[in-house]
Amino acid sequence: MTFQWTAVAAFLYGEMGVVILLCLPFISPLRWQKIFMFPLWSKLAVFWNKMFLTIIVLLIVLFFDAIREVRKYSSIHVNEKAVNVNTNAFDHIQLKLFRSQRNLYLSGFSLFLWLVLRRTVTLITQLAKGMTSHAALEMQVNDATEAAKKYMAENERLQEALCEKGSSRKKESVEATEERLKKEVEHLKAELQKTSNALHKANNEVSTVKKQCGGLKRDYDHLMKEYERLQ
């Protein structure tokens, strides 16, 4: 195996290892997001798009070169078989055809897994952001609920004070305070409803991203089975 195809094979094995690592269930997307936030990854992120496109171009060139070699040696294989050449030459052609087919599979799977790896990292990042937003919305909902309970307790205390004091002037003052508190409670209820809607939307987004990750994992498992069958 030449140097370039040895490098492609090593790159393919590295891709398989990284994809398997990203699909491990006990490593949460939030933990992956913390890993991606390391200073080293921040420096590499500047060159990530250029590196991604460069590797895509190289793999495409190698893939089409492998297709050309397969077609070349396939036609030679058919012609040599037809004219009944000696066994050594026929075996040499078969060896060349096998190597070209092997190179085709290496470059094709490397190209496919490179795209899968990019998509997997993107989905994990989106899922981590959705989970962070979900936690923040839950905290806001809890704060709004506690504030509403506090105002309702104050309202009940004011109503008790109103029953105890028979002065009309104090009643008017308490009624004004009660009206103000009612408006504040209504405002807090509206904010609570708005926050609940945002939380529901975030839950839907997280569910969608989880479904996409599940589909991607199923595609990857199918690809690995196909690769094992081809091997």
Supply the pLDDT for residue 109. 92
* Domain definitions of the chain by residue range: 3-136
Burial of 227 per CB tally in 10 Å (0-12, 13-18, 19+)? middle
Mean pLDDT across 100-125: 88
**Taken in order 53, 55, 56, 61, is the CA torsion positive or negative?**
positive
Phi, psi dihedrals of residue 86, rounded to the nearest 5°? -70, 165
Dist CA 41 CA 45 (whole Å) = 6
Q: Answer with the residue of higher pLDDT: 51 or 92.
A: 51
Dist CA 217 CA 214 (whole Å) = 5
Reply yes or no on whether the pLDDT at 81 is more than 80.
no
pTM exceeds 0.75 for this model: no
